[in-house]
Amino acid sequence: MTPRTAKPQMPVEDFEELARRAPEFVQLEFINGKIQVKPGTDGVHGAIMMWLLERCMQQRPELSLYPAQGLKVEACRKGRARPDGCLAPEGNFGGQGEWAAPDGVLMTVEVTSHDPDTDKRDRVEKPDGYAAAGIPLYLLVDRETCSVTVHAEPEGGSYRSITTRPFGAVVELPDPVGITLETQKLKDYAD
């Protein structure tokens, strides 16, 4: 993870209170000590998430792909992220509230949005935060580049293995996920 050079905008407890009071349609994250507004989704984003949810259910029915579950991430869990999906055992987040520990999460998922912060947020900051939290895999479905990137082997705040395949390729999600994605369908969602 890239070391922080600036002081956080506020204590994480104040951020959690702010996020709790935000209108329902506003999703906030606290990444690298800065408040970020998670962009809204569109129909293509939702279709991609449903496609992935179905693949996960078919191949690993004992796991659930939780949408928008808040996670405590980054060094000392001072960050708060809301991935598009968290793959974890069924019931993993029961009783944990809005911001859960990443324990038990096997994979986080982000589907890029068309906004100016996507590059920094989804391709740099979030992978570092998820790796620092020890989450085994980070799956990025990148609508801009029409590709799927698998980040694996978290160590020292970053992922040691990063593999990118174009939409249409077969993508292997290694253990502990153990799912094969035939991504031909994602070509239908290229925009």
What CATH number is attached to the domain comprising 152? 3.90.1570.10
Longest Cα–Cα distance of the chain, Å, equals 45
Asked, for residue 1, whether it belongs to a domain, the answer is no
What DSSP assignment string belongs to 14-68?
HHHHHHHHS-TT-EEEEETTEEEEEPPP-HHHHHHHHHHHHHHHHH-TTEEEEET
119 has a pLDDT exceeding 70 = no
pLDDT at 122: 75
Considering its fold, how many domains does the chain have in total?
1
Please, what is the average pLDDT of the chain? 85
pLDDT at 123: 80
Asked, for residue 87, whether it belongs to a domain, the answer is yes
153 has a pLDDT exceeding 70 = yes
| Structural domain boundaries enclosing 157 | 12-189
123 vs 87, higher pLDDT: 87
Asked, for residue 50, whether it belongs to a domain, the answer is yes
Asked, for residue 77, whether it belongs to a domain, the answer is yes
pLDDT at 191: 67
| Mean of pLDDT values over 55-81 | 88
Asked, for residue 7, whether it belongs to a domain, the answer is no
Asked, for residue 3, whether it belongs to a domain, the answer is no
Distance CA 49, CA 70 (A): 17
| Mean of pLDDT values over 158-172 | 97
pTM: 0.80
155 has a pLDDT exceeding 90 = yes
1 has a pLDDT exceeding 50 = no
